[in-house]
Amino acid sequence: MSLIKYLGVILCVIFSCSSNDDGNSSPDITNGTIDFSITLGGSLNDSAQSVINTTDGGYAILGFTQSIDGDVSDKQNENFDYWVLKFDAQDQLQWSRTYGGSSDDRGQDIIQTQDGGYAIIGSSLSNDGDVSNNAGMEDYWLVKLDASGAVSWQKSFGFQGNDSGFSVIQTNDQGYLISGILDVSASGGQGNSSRTSNRHAGGEYWAIRLNASGDMLWSKFFGGSFTDMPEGIVETDDNGFIIVGGSDSFDIDITNNLGSYDFWIIKISDVGDLLWEKSFGGDEIDQARAIVKSGDGNFVIAGDTRSNSNDVSNNNGAADLWLIKISPEGELIWERTIGGSSFDVSRSIKRTRDNGFILAGSSRSSDIDVSENKGQNDAWVLKVDSNGNLQWERSIGGSNIDFAYGIAELNDNTIVVVGDTASNDQDITENRGFTDMLLIKML
């Protein structure tokens, strides 16, 4: 059965069973009711990493697939390719495409561009197929798509080591900023333009500014002697950028490491000059995963913490979801921990129309802030208010491992969550292979 027909059958079945007992089937957008949970993919490994709401009221998903069967029909080998799926506002699949070459290519982040198309980024080991060149090992691979998913252009950036692209935004001038990890040891110190600094070691934050055609304007790396991993970007009102992630370095660009990994947040100018850097966390491992504008001129950053000291006022267990709000100057406004006695993390955050925030991640807990656990890791979805106070949370999954990586609020206030799953019971009705792409719709 085709993927479009399959989704139509599944969604009709689910919708017919989801009306309230009192006959009122209008959505309640305040409590995170699960509308449907389905799996997509083939007999091998498939995962969704990012989802966005689109201007037509639908949504687009980026991930990667190893499969050459099932829902994946345009792929010839069992190495990983980028996988993009576009759905309309009625959850009907409009198109599905894979992109890549003969080696491993894994998509991480998708945005809709101002022209109605899309930009997707991740990492590529290929040097053929859709990928025009490779500098050695993994490179950033950025692909510009039109509205129907056809490739408009694609660019690779990297050196001899593993250089992994994580995030893309479209800038105010219709260009792009992309970021990820630069293996600066393997690059021999290359990766900076017009910046004098000591040669770092290990992995660094690597930011690359591009024009609207994908041509490089500048590239800069930031970090210290150990591992620095960026995961989120926003453009600021002064046309600069804030990049967030984690760092266990304590030298060069990092001036105040608090212990092990910290949330490490940097502000750079529109030409890539480092304006300020701040570390937040405690004496254990703290990793920032995503950043959003808070709607009042400030920023909210989501990640996870294992600390219970310094900036972290409370810890419920092994790891908690950790939210912080900062000013444009990087000053801490508030912080919140949410979770139970086991491991609970966030991977994505979006601001909602009521100025609250929705988050996607995973949880192994079944106590304190987490109401239940279906088995091992569950996909975990939360809503907090503008001050970071928990309004509702839901665990979705089965008895095996389930993760949520991306979340979006649609034009009708419903929520789409994506990730991957190895389960085939409870909330997960079918498993097609090793891991499947997981798609959840919430009211």
Q: How much is the pLDDT for 200?
A: 63
Could you tell me which of 293, 276, 318 has the C-alpha nearest to residue 386? 293
**Rounded to whole angstroms, how far apart are CA atoms 140 and 207?**
11
**Rounded to whole angstroms, how far apart are CA atoms 206 and 178?**
8
Check pLDDT > 60 for residue 4.
no
Phi/psi of residue 205, nearest 5 degrees: -65, 130
Give kind and range of the element (H or E) at residue 4: helix 3-17
Pick 232 or 20 by higher pLDDT.
232
Check pLDDT > 90 for residue 26.
no
- Considering the entire predicted model, what is its pTM? 0.92
Its CATH class, for the domain covering 3-157+281-442, is: mainly beta
Strand order in the sheet with 402-409: 34-40, 436-442, 415-421, 402-409
Phi/psi of residue 77, nearest 5 degrees: -135, 165
pLDDT tens-digit series, residues 201-238: 667 999 999 999 999 999 999 998 898 999 999 999 99
**Rounded to whole angstroms, how far apart are CA atoms 257 and 278?**
9
Phi/psi of residue 184, nearest 5 degrees: -70, -25
> Which positions ≥6 away from 173 have C-beta within 8 Å?
211, 212
> Which residues are paired to 216 by β-bridges?
210
pLDDT tens-digit series, residues 295-348: 999 999 999 999 999 999 999 999 999 999 999 999 999 999 999 999 999 999
Q: How many residues does the chain have?
A: 443
Check pLDDT > 80 for residue 22.
no
- Residue 215: CA count within 13 A, CB half-sphere: 2
44 is written with which tokens?
A: 């091998």
Domain ranges of the chain: 3-157+281-442
* pLDDT band with cut points at 50, 70 and 90 for residue 13: very low
Contact 206, 163 (CB under 8 A): yes
